[in-house]
Amino acid sequence: MVNLEHVTKVYPMGPFEVVALRDITLDIADGDFVSIMGPSGSGKSTLMHIIGCLDRPTSGRYLLGGEDVSRLDDASLAHIRNKRIGFVFQQFNLLPRETVLANVEVPLIYAGVKARERRRIAAEALERVGLGDRMRHRPSEISGGQKQRAAIARALVNSPSLILADEPTGNLDSRTGHEILDILTELNVEGATVVLVTHDREIAERAGKIVQLRDGAIELIEETGRGGDADGAA
């Protein structure tokens, strides 16, 4: 469960302050599929960073699974990110000199998993996203859609309960983007909570709930009847 209670985020800019989020209160239940939409500068990425424990609110509280993570130190937040959250970014963020398999192993290295077990878990994750025959390739040798599949596999290896996807189809053609969304939807049906940031209305409507942001505040929350809400995933 994700619970944001009156969260505000302010960034100092010299003598000025920029308010990125304004009094955000939002509950995301286990098994939800939620899209976050809004124009540029609306606070989408800032909200994603706070939910992902990459940043802290200036005021308000953020509870993840009932634990107040708002004031945890950096080491504690890093542990939560590694164990409980899977990240999928628009730019893939793959290490160019490493194989696809080695890239997917990275979170397991930080988790202290032994080499043989790492390879087994990473290989299973790659098979799951349809990249079993690309494990030994480097990122430069695979397509954009395959890179995003590899990024999803990397997000899955620690069996996170929460998957955060920031514009995951932004660098992909329409057909490949829909394939990536199909994978995220399948993961949601299997029980993962998925939070997706997008500027594309059609993509947002794949979720069960759409949160509309404007000027750092929630403008509207829509129930679509799709995603995990519709499928009863929990």
Residue 227 or residue 77, greater confidence: 77
pLDDT at 211: 97
Asked if residue 231 has pLDDT above 60, the reply is: no
Vertex 232 angle, CA 182 and 218, to 5°: 75
pLDDT digits (tens, 9 = 90+) for 189-225: 999 999 999 988 989 999 999 999 999 999 999 998 8
Give the separation between CA 185 and CA 194, rounded to whole angstroms.
Answer: 8
Q: What is the CATH number for 216?
A: 3.40.50.300
Number of domains in the chain: 1
Query: Which carries the bigger pLDDT value, residue 231 or residue 84?
Result: 84
Q: pLDDT tens digits, residue range 26-47?
A: 999 999 999 999 998 899 999 9
pLDDT at 229: 43
Predicted confidence (pLDDT) per residue in 47-95, tens digit: 999 999 999 999 999 999 999 998 899 999 998 998 899 999 888 889 9
Quote the DSSP letter at residue 8.
E
Residue 141: per-residue pLDDT: 96
Domain of 80, in residue numbers: 2-231
Percent of the chain scoring above 90 in pLDDT: 78
Residue with tokens 């302010």: 10
Quick one: how far is CA 26 from the chain centroid? 16
- SS3 of 143, please? coil
Rounded average pLDDT over 159-167: 93
What pLDDT does residue 227 have? Answer: 56
Q: Is the pLDDT of residue 178 over 80?
A: yes
Average pLDDT, the chain: 91
Q: How far is CA 212 from the centre of its chain?
A: 17
